[in-house]
Structure 1
């Protein structure tokens, strides 16, 4: 449609045209979305078929706690991994790690 024809249309006709265009756009967008989802599903299946299964992790034994927070006895640490904040704060304040060892 030419710009002149649009300018000559009444408000009701323009609104009707707007609603029809919105409905058509909505249908086309939904159709494209379904096509893209189908393509993604196909790609995901291909990737799953081509990729080897990952190695299973071996079970690790439970590690007992070695250190306990004196201010909050429910906070413990096994000595593995990153030092917990409560322990790092106490050590920075001059305390020794052995002071928190569980007997």
Structure 2
């Protein structure tokens, strides 16, 4: 009694539990033309249960959407809102994860207000000053010592 299309697994079982597990494992590869009547009935019951579950979830979603639309329509009719200001909530983007503050690592020797954190493309002021023969380490900003940080 072979009912699997692709695997051709042996369908002889010692009980209904083993048959259920086989049906679970081979759900996508079932061949109903070679299944027994009992197996077809079990298959039919499982499909019916799945359909009921999906239909219930869809109907509850439709009910919720209908209630939202009815509430919006009643507000439109009462004049609380106008057509130009819809109250239906728009999908929101998930919040970005917090990134740590990036402090500058390099400072211009000519204009100390120009700084660079060392990320991304090198700024024009740095490239211009490096053409004069300076190296990147010449622009490094002195980091505060741990003693100063602990005092804060």
The answer to which structure, 1 or 2, has the higher relative contact order (CA under 8 A, 6+ apart) is 1
TM-score by length of structure 2 reads 0.33
Q: TM-score, normalised by structure 1?
A: 0.47
Greater Cα radius of gyration, structure 1 or 2: 2
* Structure with more helix by fraction: 1
